[in-house]
Chains A and B, each alone.
Chain A
Amino acid sequence: MRVTLWGTRGSLATPGPSTVRFGGNTSCVSAQGSEGTLIVLDGGTGIRNLGQSLPQNLKRVNILLTHLHMDHVQGLPFFAPLRRSGVEVHIWGPASTTLNLRSRLLRYLSPPLFPISVRDILSDLHFHELPSGTIEIGEFLVEAQLIVHPNPTVGYRIRDFDSTVTYLPDHEPALGAKTFPIGEDWTSGYTLAEGTDLLIHDSQYTMEEYEQRVGFGHSSLTHAFRFAQLADVKQFVPFHHDPAHTDSMLDQMIEQTVTEEQPPFIVTPGIEGTVLDLESYTHNS
């Protein structure tokens, strides 16, 4: 599988000279299978560039939304395939206790928040609600589970023939834990991340910032490292960077945390534009 990071910023798009290397676009990651199936994880502002890169004759796109906070859906109306007739677009995401996924998304995709309504979208749209067990999408098997983050939020584990990626961009597994982690069975997201080849995980804060923002739904970089170690992952991508963190601050945070935590896994900074080829893609393409 080929994993591409199209947007790695959290909360708010943050373009500018101080974020030019890590990037300013909000959450969007693509996973392309060795047989060509395309999965898009979240529709933050990074999805616009992904849409520009896709071929005109694309027939089907699968978009998996973790939740409906603005930084994860704001780019959707600017995703080029949505505006093309003849393209089948499947959107998965969590419902709430009272509203289905389509109704929840319509709150944003309608005036006055946005001038175009879902009814005006030309592509053939299909909505699917989560969590709903294992989903089969082309050569991928996808598991979705609810995780700790305000409002219903799911994380994903995506598996193809011989590789897995786990995507938990907004996740606060340390919430309320007097020590973290307290054990595999009591850690949100553990099942999704256990033994995964690639973990993309929320790392929004420093420990000092986290202490001021407990309950906001995000992790410190240190907590993310400890979660990755508990889950015995092979490679870890710190993700969902705080808008206030510049390139140099992120370099320093990651370097310092690697020194302190001495992780047994590979750490790959969450830089927009990064392409990661997991095993099956390399073997079969």
Chain B
Amino acid sequence: MSQHEIEVILARQLAEYLAMPIFIVDPAGDLVYYNEPAEAILGTRYVETGTMPASEWSTVFKPVDHEGKPILPEELPLVIAMTQQHPAHKSFWIEGLDKAHRQIELTAFPLMAQANRFLGAIAIFWEVSE
């Protein structure tokens, strides 16, 4: 099994201690880590799933805008962070595996390491309370 880059290992360790849902994806878009608060949104536990391929985890959420219209993938912050390699933020609604509708704000940023190494991206969810 190959070892993650040190910056990704440190990001996971920080995420383990934070109360905000955090997702870490690798340069291929695979979900390499999500913390305990994120487990509640995904409806699965990291210790059970381990890494999830992009094709699997990207279908978990059904993102819609404030009028209920589906949001195009290229407009989602994490996709912007991955493809354009700059930070992005958006407020929208999601339906998780538990079928609950949540209004969230999502901040995503690319993990750019020394020597211009692109290591993936981090997404932080902020649930908006009514």
Contact = CB atoms under 8 A, between A and B. Distances in A.
Interface string A127-169: 0000110000000000001111000100000000000000000
Nearest to B7: A146
Contact of A186 (B4, B14, B17): B4
Given A185-B3, A185-B4, A187-B3, A152 B13 contact: no
Interface in A168-191: 175-178, 183-191
B49 interface: no
Contacts of A177: 13
B3 A191 contact: yes
A175 B17 CA distance: 12
A29 interface: no
A185 B4 CA distance: 6
A188 B12 CA distance: 12
A182 B14 CA distance: 15
B1 A152 contact: no
A191 to B, nearest CB: 4
Contacts of B14: 176
Nearest to A189: B3
A175 B16 CA distance: 12
Main secondary structure of the interface of B (DSSP, over half): helix
Given A177-B13, A186-B12, A146 B1 contact: no
A97 interface: yes
B19 interface: no
B10 interface: yes
B72 interface: no
B129 interface: no
B16 A178 contact: yes
B28 interface: no
A39 interface: no
A95 interface: yes
Contacts of B10: 148, 175-176
A132 B13 CA distance: 25
B7 to A, nearest CB: 8
B13 A175 contact: yes
Interface in B4-42: 4-7, 9-10, 12-14, 16-17
A184 B1 contact: yes
A245 to B, nearest CB: 27
Interface of A: 95, 97, 131-132, 145-148, 152, 175-178, 183-191
8 contacts: A97-B114, A131-B115, A176-B17, A183-B1, A184-B1, A188-B3, A190-B3, A191-B3
Given A95-B114, A175-B10, A185-B1, 20 more contacts: A132-B115, A147-B6, A148-B6, A148-B9, A152-B114, A176-B10, A176-B13, A176-B14, A176-B17, A177-B13, A178-B16, A184-B1, A184-B3, A185-B4, A186-B3, A186-B4, A187-B3, A188-B3, A188-B9, A190-B3
Q: Which 3 A-B pairs have the closest CB atoms?
A: A176-B13, A191-B3, A190-B3
Interface of B: 1-7, 9-10, 12-14, 16-17, 114-115
